[in-house]
Structure 1
Amino acid sequence: MRLNLAAIALLLAPSAAWAALVPGGGAPAGGDMLPEPLRDLAAWVFALQRQLTGEMRQHLAAMKETGSWEPAAAVMLAAFLYGVFHAVGPGHGKVVIAGWFATRRARIVHGLLASLIAAMVQAVSAIAVVAALAGVLALAPRQVMSYAGWLEVASYGLIAAIGAVMVWRTATGRGCGHDHGHDHGHDGACCGHGHDHHDHGRSDRSERDALFGMAAAVGFRPCSGAILVLLFTFANGMYLTGILATLAMGLGVAITVATIGLGALGLNRLIGRLFGTSSLGGKIRTVLAVSGALGITLLGVGMLLGALVNGPVLTG
């Protein structure tokens, strides 16, 4: 199941690039850019998202009309499920994180933390945007969405920059792209050079910090669905409910992204078991690490250029 989810994430990468490069953003209508096995899945996911959005609006309207907090639980559940299925659709976040774990060794706990960081930064970003632009500056919803689009541009730039650093570190032997959480001695099995355990510790910390920085860069771009919920609740004096719903949405996103990321990590571990610590295995891991970092860099650059050419538009 994990490998299937990782495969889905990689197959959705072209649609993520399409969403950034084509004016108007978003996934192509009907999922026409996806292979046939995934087209129906994408259509089902988008339909379910619309249904969940409608349910959230209904429950929020009931809260406003009755003044009761009873519908709040239903709002949180709908928001959580929205986050789970929203993260299944096309988007650069899970592609970046899955690309990292498919090509670099990492600890499972770091994978879980990275997914949580990406989702929670995205949720907090949406909350801060609405609080600042709608609350403090009193901008109209359309203006809020327009300004929020610039955070998406910044996210793409950060992803490209961190990816470039990863390429440089891996190509120069400063980042091995695998963890050293066990006692072992090898000489050049990964990076093609000898290093001691102090180097291992520094490399581990650098890889972890780069991973968490990448996760934060992915989440820096707020979710348009969360912003719409927050704008509705802000306009109707229920902003606290909107905040809680956004955090529930972020938790749902984290679960899906973590599942996809761990599936990619499992694929990476399988490659490690097949080739062990042999010289060939070290070369394969280095090639994967460089390729993954380069792919993340190119994805970030491509979407950054697309956003600058077409204008900042929050795509999802």
Structure 2
Amino acid sequence: MRSRILIAALCAVLGLALWLWALGGADEVAVWAAEGQRAAQESMASALRALRSGTPGALAGLLGLCFAYGLFHAAGPGHGKILIGGYGMGTSVPMTRLALLALASSLAQAASAVMLVGVGALVLGWTRQQMQGAAEVWLAPASYAAIGLIGLWICVRGARRLWRSLAGVKILARRDGDGAHSHDDDDACCGHSHGPTPEQAAAVHSLRDAVLLIGAIALRPCTGALFLLIITWRMGLVWQGVLGAFAIGLGTASVTLLVAVASVVLRDGTLAQMSGATTTRAMGLIEALAGALIAVLALQLLLRAL
């Protein structure tokens, strides 16, 4: 039953991918997202004026518009979706954990915008142009470069996994022919482990991966959050602007979560058709290809930003 559900979900994801990249759907989504962002920004200006004049319900209306802006913003091209989607497709990470990573990375982008405006405005005395310039000229390329390096690292890790699985089959075949003993027997005799268990290694990798992924995405602050924070700081609505920035982050996370779910479905649906050593080799190949895709797309974003 689970296999059938995965296959059906895989077909749905592949159909969506076909519409986006082969039938021009991505261009339609980009136009829709740009129009939505523009409309949300115009409405946010009115909501800020209402908030400043003390209109009841103005804050709730502003936060709703900020969430909508984040949703439209995330629907367009973005480095966060590339990294989260590629990582989910290429790594054996549970859907719940990847969803939390997607949420944390979006909120971290909002937090980095708050930090940039706080330091830039209060400590360095920067103008709006200087803060936006720092985000676009320095932080955006640094974020794309970091994502590209993570992609290369994932690619190398996948290639190593694929190589070990292929080499392991040859070694086991040779041992079976020679009558060699199992290392599991050694562990039982000497009473201690010669290395971390697979569960311990996975825990270390997941924590390290989480820190790297969130850091690389958060390195580039959300432009919409920056714009809102600068305006609210000038209007004397500082904490309202901070709440709005995190509302934008939640809106962004709603789309990134969908990408995370789709990537896990794509991975599990593909692997559901395999078994045994074939699954291990396929997982290494998928991880290497996903890492290479992340690196290539990040390089394209970096070249555009330079």
**Alpha-carbon distance in 1 for matches of 2:278, 2:17:** 27
Q: What's the CA shift for 1:7?
A: 6.8
In structure 1, the residue matched to 2:96 is: 109
Which residue in 2 is equivalent to 1:60?
A: 48
Please give the secondary structure, in 2, of the residue aligned with 1:198.
coil
Q: 2:251 — aligned with what?
A: 252
- Give the Cα–Cα distance (whole angstroms) in 1 for the partners of residues 213 and 14 of structure 2: 18
Query: Which amino acid in 2 is paired with 1:63?
Result: L
- State the shift of 1:157 in Å: 2.2
1:203 alignment partner, one of 185, 201, 204? 201
Selected match of 1:122 from 109, 121, 129: 109
Q: Take 1:292 and 1:132, find their aligned partners in 2: how far apart are those partners? A: 36
Match of 2:283 among 275, 282, 285: 285
Change (3 A) 1:11 1:214: farther
Q: 1:190 to 1:239 in 2, by over 3 A?
A: farther
Which residue of the partner structure matches residue 74 of structure 2? 87
Q: Which residue of 2 aligns with 1:234?
A: 233
Greater relative contact order structure (CA < 8 Å, 6+ sep):
2
Cα distance change, pair 272–56 in 1 and its aligned pair in 2 (3 A): same
1-side partners of 2:205 and 2:221: how far apart? 25
Residue 272 of structure 2: SS of its match in structure 1?
A: helix
Tell me the TM-score normalised to structure 2 length.
0.79
**Is structure 2 residue 249 aligned with structure 1 residue 224?**
no
Structure 2 match to 1:16 = none
Higher Rg of the two aligned structures? 2
Q: In the alignment, does 2:171 pair up with 1:172?
A: no
Shift in CA distance, 296/209, structure 1 to aligned 2, threshold 3 Å: farther
2:36 maps to 48
On the 8 A contact 1:191/1:283 being kept in 2, the answer is: no
List alignment gaps of at least 5 residues for structure 1: 14-33, 177-186, 311-316
Question: For the residues of structure 2 that align with 1:7 and 1:263, how far apart are their CA atoms?
Answer: 12
Amino acid at match of 1:52: A
Name 1:28's counterpart in structure 2.
none
Distance 1:190 1:54, change over 3 A: farther
Change beyond 3 A, Cα 1:171–1:38: closer
Report deviation, 1:135. 2.4
Partners of 1:93 and 1:11 lie apart in 2 by 21
Cα distance change on mapping 1:56 and 1:191 into 2, 3 Å: farther
Q: Structure 1: which amino acid aligns with 2:297?
A: L
Give CA-to-partner distance per residue, 1:108-149, whole Å, 9 cap, x none: 221111101210110001111111112222221111100112
1:273 alignment counterpart: 272
Q: Residue 162 of structure 1 contacts residue 210 of structure 1 at CA under 8 Å; is this kept in 2?
A: no
**Is the Cα contact below 8 Å between 1:2 and 1:260 reproduced in 2?**
no
Task: Check the 8 A contact 2:160/2:284 in 1, yes or no.
Answer: no
Given that 2:59 and 2:240 are in contact with CA atoms closer than 8 Å, whether structure 1 keeps it comes out as yes
When residues 302 and 90 of structure 1 are mapped into structure 2, their CA distance, relative to the original with a 3 A threshold, is closer
Task: Give me the whole-angstrom Cα distance separating, in 2, the residues matched to 1:296 and 1:286.
Answer: 15
Task: Verify the 8 A CA contact 2:157 2:287 in the aligned structure 1.
Answer: no
Is residue 161 of structure 1 aligned with residue 149 of structure 2? yes
Amino-acid identity (%): 27
Letter in 2 for 1:170: G
Are the equivalent residues in 2 in contact too, given 1:130–1:231 (CA < 8 A)?
Answer: yes
Q: CA deviation at 1:49?
A: 1.2
Kindly provide the amino acid, as one letter, of the partner of residue 156 in structure 1: Y
User: How much does 1:82 deviate?
Assistant: 1.3
CA spacing shift, 1:228–1:207, aligned 2, 3 Å: same
Report if the CA contact (8 A) 1:77-1:248 is conserved. yes
**Alignment check: 8 A CA contact 2:165 2:281 kept:** no
| AA in 1 matched with 2:271 | G
1:226 & 1:293 partners in 2: Cα distance? 29
RMSD, matched Cα: 2.9
Residues 46 and 303 of structure 1: CA distance in aligned 2, closer, same or farther (over 3 Å): closer
Residue pair 1:156, 1:304 contacting (<8 A) in 2 also: yes
The Cα of 1:202 is off from its aligned counterpart by 3.6
Separation in 2 of the partners of 1:168 and 1:188? 14
| Equivalent residues, number | 274
Report the counterpart of residue 62 of structure 2 in structure 1: 75
| Distance of aligned partners of 1:203 and 1:6 in 2 relative to their CA distance in 1, 3 Å threshold | farther
